[in-house]
Amino acid sequence: MKFPRQYSLEEIANLIATEYVGDANFPVLGMNEIHVVQPGDIVFVDHPKYYDKALNSAATIVLINKEVECPQGKALLLSDDPFRDFNKLINHFKPFEPSNSAISPSAKIGKNTVVQPNAFVGNNVVIGDNCIIHSNVSIYDNTIIGNNVTIHSGTVLGANGFYYKKRPEGYDQLLSGGRVVIEDHVDIGACCTIDKGVTGDTTIGAGSKLDNQIQVGHDTVIGKKCLIASQTGIAGCVVIEDEVTIWGQVGTNSGITIGEKAVVQAQAGVTKSIEGGKVYWGTPIQEAREELKRLASIKQIPKILEELKKLK
């Protein structure tokens, strides 16, 4: 998420009432999660396991809960609770804006696009040309939709990511300040839910087709010409490369990659990253041919035991 202008390190520190290490005028351009950070971004870290990863990332400003040596060319924001202060920044730069109409006056809707009755189009939404948005679709703020897109009834674009920190008093949500981006020639079925990125974009690539009742988690990137069947649940921060086929009731872990032109058969559990160009099945996920061979071998066990009895 990029800020509307360049801020100084001191300005950001004042916003969240923290101390800082570095030049007061050190430039701050935005904030992002660790997997998408760029120079000029703030990244937060609040666990020793991830200190080195954050400090050595592309981010040049690290919001951290420990006094450490500041890497050359970077700056630190010292906080007793980086999670809380990251939320403060999201709330400051991307606060919730209530709408007073079904289609926000700030939304931009292209030529020949049809928005059916009872659909909701939020603030700063952009919808391209020749789209059909069916009734009871909810398009939250800042969503970007390309040309020739069809979205069926009951689908929600832009709900918050499922990202929580466990505290003694309960779960604290990491606020979502990112977007959903739908590229050209995408079809989305009924009752799908596509969560916005925490700070970046959740993206559906051009030409991809989603069936009904599919969940896509925050910051996931689905490539071009993918085919995803009903009741699939895709976790956050997943990368699905181009021309992948995913059949019904597949579930995935977060942070994995599914390679180009992979086929994942129904009810598989994608527990790890998988190579492209192969067919997969089962839980934990295995190449389908090898898994079927294994199952065939298991079926031979009773016969083998009977043969052993005869030899005794």
Is 47 known to be catalytic? no
Q: Which residues contact 306 (CB under 8 A, 6 or more apart)?
A: none
Strand partners, 263: 245, 279
Q: For tokens 């981006």, what's the residue?
A: 181
Instruction: Determine if the peptide bond prior to 302 is cis (ω within 30°).
Output: no
Q: For tokens 């007793």, what's the residue?
A: 80
CA of residue 158 relative to chain centroid, distance: 11
**Distance from C-alpha of 216 to C-alpha of 193, rounded to nearest angstrom:** 6
Residue 143 structure tokens = 């969503």
Catalytic residue among 134, 152, 185, 218: 218
Task: Show the DSSP H helices in 5-108 as ranges.
Answer: 9-16, 51-55, 82-93
**Distance from C-alpha of 203 to C-alpha of 168, rounded to nearest angstrom:** 34
**Distance from C-alpha of 157 to C-alpha of 185, rounded to nearest angstrom:** 16
Catalytic residues: 218
